[in-house]
Structure 1
């Protein structure tokens, strides 16, 4: 170890080896506790090392920086005093420390820099080194132990080499198996992805097929419901038509029978059993005027004659009559007055009466007290009362007497062409006024 020498022309300080080693150890210890911003750039890579490794590896850089970077040295001194508060305070206050290690005191003095720091460093340099005591037996014993340790170390090293070779071979085998396993896993994953995609596609196809089947099923059900409704309507219509045909036939038959009976009474014909073949060879006989033709069309008595016909059906153009009879009265009042009068007529003559009104003038449901025996019809949307009257005439079987009361010339002409009899509204009004 050499003494401290300070060159007046240089900033470098030569420290005794024990002091230098202790300074580096203390600075390396403090380096780990300092923030990165306070550490010079060349030392930052050593800050994360272990203290012993940090002191060993950073020695060549840490010593010159401590000697030249005053700020960094003061920061290191602060950390060292925090770790060694009593001895650091004694060194800073120049208090004698005879019991302390001179190298420790010199290292702290070098970092803290009190006024007598150079003297403390010089004192540490003057401390004589303790003479080593040689012990031949101990040296021999230690030599034997060293040789034995070296032999054991070689054996252990050989075993470790063998184990390392086995581990390397096993590692190679494991790596190969791992690669094979990875390849199999990759293949399985690829196959799984393909199967998953195929399953998803199959699910989509199944869902599409199910949806299509459900749509077809709904269509078939709707078609079945529609066909059932058509069948039900057809059956109902067929039954109604059969019933209607039977009614028409029965009504026509009753009309023919009553007309024949009336004609027989009118003509005073003898019973059928009195007819002889010679009677069919007779010449032309005078024909009687048809019933209902004996009075002019505007004569109210003509209506009585027509109503006397068997199974006669009286159809009344409602508003055509009411607006002629009571033009200033409200429509509901007109309808009720006409229906009341027609009810009285039905009670007298026992005839079938239908009153037809135009439904286009209605703003809502109609509450009517229909007399017994009087049928009331309002024309549906888009259909006139005149057309409903024509439908009623067409619905009657040919040969049944139908009388239509309407002053509408077009209606009268059309129903006459269909075989019915037309009378003016005034004829019915006069008849109803007579009571």
Structure 2
């Protein structure tokens, strides 16, 4: 549209002058003598009375005009540079272009003298292109923006045509770029549409496939529902039959339960009668057994007391020889044999005698401590004697079930009482009392009938405990028994 307006305004010949310099060479020659001003000249050489109107510059052309102007500021003297533009001369080129642009464009439009002086320097700086533009014959391959900017400043003949032609070219280029961009956009949209169509077709195919699968699955489910419905009806019929059977069975069970309850009550009654009879029989049996046990206990108690009384009265000790030993000894003497009778039950110092006594039930072994230690190992200190004896008695207690008590004279009591081995009771006689007296008290404290064995070589102690019903064993027997262990 801009290009058509330029043609309508200036004519076909002027347009050909811009784009076809060869055809309009004679026209440019007629205007070559005219000064480079902003005034429009007629073809007959007469000057128009009114100056040409300022054309509307495209943004690119206006920016280039501003750039050319501000680049020339440093070379302009104060007499050439208008006062309102002098402050921009000290700025950097980029800052001048940014800040002085509107003022420069306005000054160029309002001050022809400033524009002409600026045009001279711009044409000179542009070289051949500037000279061609000033002559009105710019090359066709030149940048239209550069040509329009130089033409705006130099204002050769038909300069407005050059500006408008360049503007039309810029607009056409912009429109062409827009058209190309639109074409590219259309191409992209076409490709997207094609991809969308392909995707839509694929989605449609997939949906049709899914729909077919869903329909097949629905058919299977319908068949399954029919099967389950039939199975449910059959199950309901079975449940009704089973319910009837259960009801019948419950009636039968109730009748049987009633009969069983009656039988159970009858049997419980008979069981209660039998338990009462059994309890009466047990009571009678217990009464008879208690009487028999009382009679037996009285008999045994009488016999035991009589035996203990005789033993205490006669002071009978376990025999050293048996009756057969006496007969064997007399027979050997009559025959004049020197062979020693071997049937003697125990020697006086035989440990077997002590073992037999310790085998008695609930036997209590009482030991005269220092009498035994001084018999067995007199060559060591009293403390060592006690330790050795207690160690041996601990082993004896572990081998037998006898209650073992060892009594030491309190005069030799250590500052700290020694510990008692397991199963052995250790007693030190209190002040003013001897170990012999403590042993006699122990024997008297035992109940009648319990076997008590006292180990001591003291004759007075042995005689006394025999009269009390205890057994007396020499100390050497215990020493040998401990050595054997």
TM-score band, normalised by shorter chain: 0.3 to 0.5
If you compute each CA radius of gyration, which structure gives the higher value, 1 or 2?
2
